[in-house]
């Protein structure tokens, strides 16, 4: 028979060309448990990734890009999972109102508010989009370093993922105690992002942390400005 993946003729349990199994095992309870364990596994999964990114984010992300991409959870999966955790917490405790809100003149939400409401409900995807803006400014500020835009985007995904966990911890405490400390979590999240990005490009250079902070802030401003512009433009087109 031929391999279903690369069409190479095979007569064993695995394809000699691409290594794919001849017959896939059926998905059952054992398979689901194995996949969950794979994501949560301390040595190679999300807990290990969180620990490493908290201790030495610059070094570990650099190693991910240039040496070993199996030790950390994939960055897109990581940012979606951490954003989902944050979304679940703020929805459970109904503390969304502490964040960005806009008022509409009518009963219906205007387009800018719809955009930001979507962001609040889909932080996983929204953070990837926001990360693109931050990566753009990071690339500009650190253009002398030999990293392309997509490598920098990987850095930003990991960094934002940890910042979402920081937000989550403070949102959880705020929800349990009714203390208004979410803003503290926001500040610490920005500090972490600044520290992690600066460390990635060289932890001994103070200017790197200034550039990292500037890239993060400009990225957030750029995303917000573009969202507002598109929302207002859509409203104007609809009205006319």
Task: Specify the pLDDT at position 102.
Answer: 44
Binning pLDDT at 50, 70 and 90, where does residue 165 land? very high
Task: Specify the pLDDT at position 197.
Answer: 97
User: pLDDT for 41-77, tens place per residue?
Assistant: 544 678 889 999 999 999 999 999 998 888 888 898 8
User: pLDDT for 4-25, tens place per residue?
Assistant: 778 778 787 788 778 777 777 7
User: pLDDT for 95-150, tens place per residue?
Assistant: 754 444 444 454 455 888 888 888 877 777 888 899 999 999 999 999 999 999 99
- pLDDT over 50 (residue 229): yes
CA angle 15, 19, 23 (to 5 degrees): 60
Task: Specify the pLDDT at position 23.
Answer: 75
Largest CA distance in the chain: 70
* Distance of alpha carbon 217 from alpha carbon 78, whole angstroms: 22
Top pLDDT among 148 and 238 is at 148
Binning pLDDT at 50, 70 and 90, where does residue 190 land? very high
* Domain map (residue ranges) of the chain: 1-40, 57-239
């Amino acid at each position: 028979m031929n391999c279903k993946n690369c069409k190479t003729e095979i007569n064993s349990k695995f394809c000699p060309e691409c290594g794919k199994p001849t017959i896939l095992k059926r998905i059952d309870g054992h398979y689901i448990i194995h996949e969950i364990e794979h994501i949560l596994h301390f040595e190679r999964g999300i807990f290990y990734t969180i620990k490493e990114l908290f201790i030495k984010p610059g070094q570990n992300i650099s190693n991910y890009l240039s040496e070993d991409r199996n030790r950390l959870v994939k960055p897109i999966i990581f940012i979606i999972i951490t954003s989902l955790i944050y979304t679940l917490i703020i929805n459970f405790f109904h503390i969304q109102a502490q964040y960005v809100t806009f008022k509409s003149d009518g009963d219906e939400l205007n387009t800018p508010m719809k955009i930001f409401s979507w962001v609040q409900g889909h932080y996983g995807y929204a953070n990837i989009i926001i990360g693109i803006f931050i990566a753009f400014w990071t690339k500009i500020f650190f253009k002398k370093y030999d990293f392309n835009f997509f490598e920098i985007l990987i850095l930003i995904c990991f960094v934002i993922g940890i910042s979402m966990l920081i937000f989550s911890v403070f949102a959880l405490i705020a929800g349990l105690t009714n203390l208004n400390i979410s803003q503290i979590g926001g500040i610490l999240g920005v500090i972490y992002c600044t520290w992690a990005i600066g460390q990635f490009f060289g932890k001994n250079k103070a200017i790197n942390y200034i550039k990292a902070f500037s890239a993060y802030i400009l990225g957030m401003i750029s995303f917000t400005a573009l969202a507002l512009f598109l929302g207002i433009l859509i409203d104007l087109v609809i009205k006319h």
